[in-house]
Amino acid sequence: MSIERTLSIIKPDATRRNLIGKIIARFEDAGLRIVGQKQLQLTRKQAEKFYFVHAEKSFFNNLCEFIISGSIVVQVLEGENAISLNRKIIGATDPSNAIPGTIRADFAESVEANSVHGSDSPENATNEIAFFFAQIEIIN
Ligand code: CMP
């Protein structure tokens, strides 16, 4: 067991439908603590930078257009095994494959509009947190 930090994004499909509070409750109920949080809207350039690992994928353009289509809430979540715990709570990328009770099974509209993002490895968590947050914005 180790205390980790992970980056969470509540995506535009969820902010549009007023689901921010319901999604945050899932994280807090599972024992994850919010140690950084803000709401913003990405530019196309910022979206392309954040999702650069998917640049060669067929869905890259749609992915970028979707993530800039409205506001997002970015969060640093902290807790024991936060990276894998968060991935478990959010469920499979495609909501049709997500286990009932996970955020994506309960709220996502499609594989693209899938309500939330969660870092998938310690290295990506570190990089993604640094992409959105300055040290001073994270509670120690
Ligand atoms: P996310 O966890 O934010 O990481 C990359 C995103 O790409 C993923 O969530 C999905 O929303 C999106 N994605 C993955 N596969 C597809 C696909 N086949 N079509 C559209 N979007 C996809």
Which residue minimizes the CA distance to atom 3 of ligand 1? 117
Residue 54 appears among annotated catalytic residues: no
Q: Is the CB of 115 under 6 A from ligand 1?
A: no
Tell me the C-alpha to C-alpha distance, in Å, between residue 56 and each of 48, 60, 61, 111. Answer: 11, 7, 10, 18
pLDDT for 35 equals 98
User: How many Å apart are CA 129 and CA 131, to the nearest integer?
Assistant: 5
> One-letter amino acid identity for 31?
G
Tell me the C-alpha to C-alpha distance, in Å, between residue 21 and each of 27, 97, 107. Answer: 10, 24, 12
pLDDT digits (tens, 9 = 90+) for 66-105: 999 999 999 999 999 999 999 999 999 999 999 999 999 9
- Global pTM? 0.97
CA of 93 to the centre of ligand 1 (A): 7
pLDDT digits (tens, 9 = 90+) for 7-57: 999 999 999 999 999 999 999 999 999 999 999 999 999 999 999 999 999
